[in-house]
Structure 1
Amino acid sequence: MGGRTSGQGKIGFAAVWAIAVGGMVGGGIFSTLGVVISHAGKWAAVSFVIGGLIAYATGHSLAALTVDKDEPGGIYSFLRDTGRKRIARTSAWVLLTGYVLTSAVYAFTFGAYVGNVLGGPAWLPPAMASGAILAMTVLNLRGAGQATGVEIGIVVVKLLILAGLAGLGLSQFEAAKLEISAQPGLLGIVIGAASVFMAYEGFELLAYDYEEMEDRKALMGRIMPWAIGSAALIYVLVALAVPMLTGTKTVIEDGEIALANAGQAALGTPGLIAVTLAAALSTVSAINATLFSSARLAKEVAQDGDLPDRFAASNSQGAPSAAVLLIAVPALVLAVIGGLSGLVSAASLVFLTVFGVLNLLAWREGVGKRWITLPGALGSFAALGVLALDLAGLV
């Protein structure tokens, strides 16, 4: 996700792609595959495609709004600059809530994978989750940012591991293995797409790095299909491949460590370690980047008077310390006490809401292609409605 160590040169296509893909594949696929399969059954891959299409439309809207204004920002600044100050303030609170939830999911996933490979008592995974957030909080309080070279390396490693896992699974592909006992219909596919939509969260923070891009208007305009398409492709391949290695029922039962067990089924202990390494790198990197960018969003909102003044202050290292803690503390609590499915669904609700508004704003402002922005808004709000009804037990 967004953010970059100061003092470096302009970032090019590879670094921008890595930041976006690293944000989206920052933990979502490692923890949510069982969730989407439990809803969509053999059509889980289709759920990821639907989510990817909504994300693509949103990325198109975000890029169009950013290029049109030719300045860094996001939905908060877009709404503020168009005179919608009350909605802007609300969007900031909603978005910060979403970043708290996603940080909690990343930490929960880190704890689950590392705790699983180490073994030990039941308190170990939440302890590891807490440790991940605390370590990244200290890093951010010291003023460290995101080094793009490190980000590219992490993304390449985890994508290679996931691609290898997908290749091993697809080499044994049998459609019958995707079946579950109570096969859902079309509504289940939509619920699956909506319930794990947080897996596509992350690309939107590119708007904060806009001024640091080489040939920023051109790059911002063309990066979204590549980045979102890359994430969607790996999600689809993994959704089709992992059930081939362990069985669909086992993927659902294994929950947050389903990919680790698939790696072990494919290659034994080396496979288990490789997938755990990918999950650990992904989640720690995503926590760090989320804290980096969301704290700076909180600082901007505070400077505009829409958050208390203390969140605009920086410490001696130049870091917005109160803003970092605003995200880190509740994320740590939720990572320890929250259930994975609830955290994922809540985060998906938040980002479907934010992305729906972003698409609608692009359509209202007449930027981008309306045949993309309007379906993006309708798709976001439709998925939001279905997920809300599902969580209320009404569908």
Structure 2
Amino acid sequence: MSGHDQREPEAELGLLDATMIGMGAMIGAGIFVLTGLAADISGPAALLVFMLNGVVTAFTGLSYAELASAIPKSGGGYAFVREIFDDFGSFIMGWMLWFAYMIAGALYALGFAPNFLELLHVYGVVAPPDQVGAVILPLLGVGVPAKFVLAFVAVAGLVALNAASTAASGSAETVFTIIKVSILVAFVAFGFLSAGGGGETSFTFQNFDPLFPEGSGAFSILPAMGLTFIAFEGYDLITTVTEEVENPRENIPKAIFASLAATVVVYLLVVTVAIGTLGAEELAAAGEAGIAAAATSFMPTGLPVIQNGGALIVFGAVFSTITALNAVVIASSRVAFSMGREGQLLQSIGQIHHRFGTPFVAVLLSAVVMLGSVVLPTQSAGNMSSLFFLLSFIIVNVAVIRLRRERPNMNRPYKIPYYPIPPILAIALNGILAVVLIGFLIQTDMLALLLSAGWLAAGVVMYVLLNKYRARATTGEGTESTTDQPAAGGAEED
């Protein structure tokens, strides 16, 4: 093996960069797209949906923090599971998590396209998004919907950035995340300032009374939590770049807690203002444009550069989807890289590029699946991601318990408080949400279930084929070694 093949990732990301990767993924399309969906299912109790999802997520966050401090390897949940589970179990975990990140990338790319078109429409560049025609591809003469073209361009651009430089992609994530958080802070501030204004859309807590409207009981929270769970997926992305973060044993846990805490606060404030101004029914009716509709109703007009509140939120949505997309491009490629380095995918996938210092092949391979997935319905992409993340979080919590039992003396700079209560609660709560979500999908989105099952089946086939390939390669090496017996003095070296 050459020196180039053995190159390891370089620690080019600081604590702020790592935190922003988590926040960039969590404060993504979810807060803009899923708020209306949560309000449609559970009414004003959508606020509880996001709060309880934050609690459920925090329990698993504790497990990620302990595992990251004990196992400072890139690859996130896969790297942890690989440490304690058997070969097949760890492969399935990596296969599932890799897919979840790539499908989430497709979801964010699909969310970016209409928001970008809406932003161009605000400034009079194009017609309203629903009136924008197909783009005719040169040479082929085939018309492709504009949203697919924009989704492809967004993925391709960020893939190029990530393939060329980890530091550049991390810096871009930090800048974009700060911008979008600032926009959401402005939304919240103007929302609360509208209280007592006397207008129909001024903020009032009366919109939360009753919390559970007639026909929408407390149990409506569960399906809404399952469908919006992906909004809190993101802190785990921090652990996929562990080896690229300075002082990872200390900074990774800090970044997980900081990103989770900040995201939960932002989500609760945004949802409170959206329901408090528009009301749950209007928010639900506005659907994916719910936050923008709320902003238009109470934010001032004639803002510098940004014309009005609705335009400001669309601007924020563009940044949010781009940062979330960039985060999952980083994460998906690191999972594939880690699997390749561990010998569970082709060796070339687990190598660092000798010039760019990035997992070049892993980035490109992840991009191929991500680009192919943008043809999926947006809702199905979100549902598949939520399901796989719930399942993978269950496995990670099982891993932290097994590792404590089997390696009690392992160096753990951070330990879960009140162990084993948090991981046990996380397993139970994530399991309940997964079961509820599967039941909901059986009734509403069989496509998501069938594609999820198909990916797992493809994983089993891939595992068998790769094992046969490795066995054949090992047999060939053994035969060659026997033939060249006199020169076998360095047989233990690769």
Structure 1 contact 313–320 (Cα < 8 Å) conserved:
yes
Q: TM-score, normalised by structure 2?
A: 0.71
- Report the counterpart of residue 131 of structure 1 in structure 2: 153
Structure 1 contact 168–241 (Cα < 8 Å) conserved:
no
Structure 2 residue aligned with 1:109, among 94, 108, 111? 111
Separation (CA, whole Å) in 2 of partners of 1:249 and 1:71: 46
- Report the counterpart of residue 187 of structure 2 in structure 1: 165
Structure 1 residue aligned with 2:399, among 361, 365, 381? 361
- Report the counterpart of residue 374 of structure 1 in structure 2: 424
Change over 3 Å in CA distance of 1:51–1:299 after alignment to 2: same
Change over 3 Å in CA distance of 1:211–1:97 after alignment to 2: closer
SS of 2:308's equivalent in the other structure is helix
Q: Which amino acid aligns with 2:26?
A: M
Alignment of 1:325 with 2:361, yes or no, is no
Structure 1 contact 65–362 (Cα < 8 Å) conserved:
yes
Structure 2 contact 13–170 (Cα < 8 Å) conserved:
no
Structure of higher CA gyration radius: 2
Q: Which amino acid aligns with 1:224?
A: I
Change over 3 Å in CA distance of 1:254–1:342 after alignment to 2: farther
Q: TM-score, normalised by structure 1?
A: 0.88
Instruction: Report how many residues are paired.
Output: 387
Percentage identity across paired residues of the two chains: 23
- Report the counterpart of residue 88 of structure 1 in structure 2: 90
Change over 3 Å in CA distance of 1:240–1:183 after alignment to 2: farther
Alignment of 1:311 with 2:327, yes or no, is no
Separation (CA, whole Å) in 2 of partners of 1:130 and 1:304: 30
Separation (CA, whole Å) in 2 of partners of 1:147 and 1:304: 25
Match runs of 1:205-216 below 5 Å? 205-216=237-248
- Report the counterpart of residue 234 of structure 1 in structure 2: 266
Deviations 1:344-379 (A, max 9, x none): 222111111111111122123236321111101111
Separation (CA, whole Å) in 1 of partners of 2:91 and 2:11: 32
Structure 1 residue aligned with 2:438, among 363, 369, 388? 388
Deviations 1:39-87 (A, max 9, x none): 2211111111111112111110011112123444422222222242211
Separation (CA, whole Å) in 2 of partners of 1:254 and 1:355: 32
Structure 1 contact 19–151 (Cα < 8 Å) conserved:
yes
Structure 1 position 32, deviation (Å): 1.2
Structure 2 contact 19–238 (Cα < 8 Å) conserved:
no
Separation (CA, whole Å) in 2 of partners of 1:260 and 1:127: 24
Q: What is the alpha-carbon root mean square deviation over aligned residues?
A: 2.6
Structure with greater helix share of residues: 1
- Report the counterpart of residue 217 of structure 1 in structure 2: 249
Q: Which amino acid aligns with 1:377?
A: I
Deviations 1:192-245 (A, max 9, x none): 111111111111122234345455434334443332121111111111211344
Q: Which amino acid aligns with 1:382?
A: I
Unaligned runs of 5+ in 2: 1-8, 122-126, 134-144, 196-201, 302-306, 405-414, 445-494
Separation (CA, whole Å) in 2 of partners of 1:15 and 1:377: 29
Deviations 1:143-186 (A, max 9, x none): 45445444333222211211221233343333443579764222
Structure 1 contact 256–340 (Cα < 8 Å) conserved:
no
Structure 1 position 266, deviation (Å): 2.8
Deviations 1:274-311 (A, max 9, x none): 21222212221222232123212212212323223453
- Report the counterpart of residue 216 of structure 2 in structure 1: 184
Unaligned runs of 5+ in 1: 1-5
Alignment of 1:174 with 2:176, yes or no, is no
Separation (CA, whole Å) in 2 of partners of 1:263 and 1:90: 43
Structure 2 contact 93–392 (Cα < 8 Å) conserved:
yes
Separation (CA, whole Å) in 1 of partners of 2:258 and 2:182: 17
Separation (CA, whole Å) in 1 of partners of 2:316 and 2:166: 22
Alignment of 1:25 with 2:57, yes or no, is no
Separation (CA, whole Å) in 1 of partners of 2:87 and 2:259: 31
Separation (CA, whole Å) in 1 of partners of 2:316 and 2:381: 21
Q: 161-170 or 178-187, which moves further after superposition?
A: 178-187
Q: Which amino acid aligns with 1:271?
A: G
Q: 146-155 or 20-29, which moves further after superposition?
A: 146-155
Separation (CA, whole Å) in 2 of partners of 1:199 and 1:71: 25
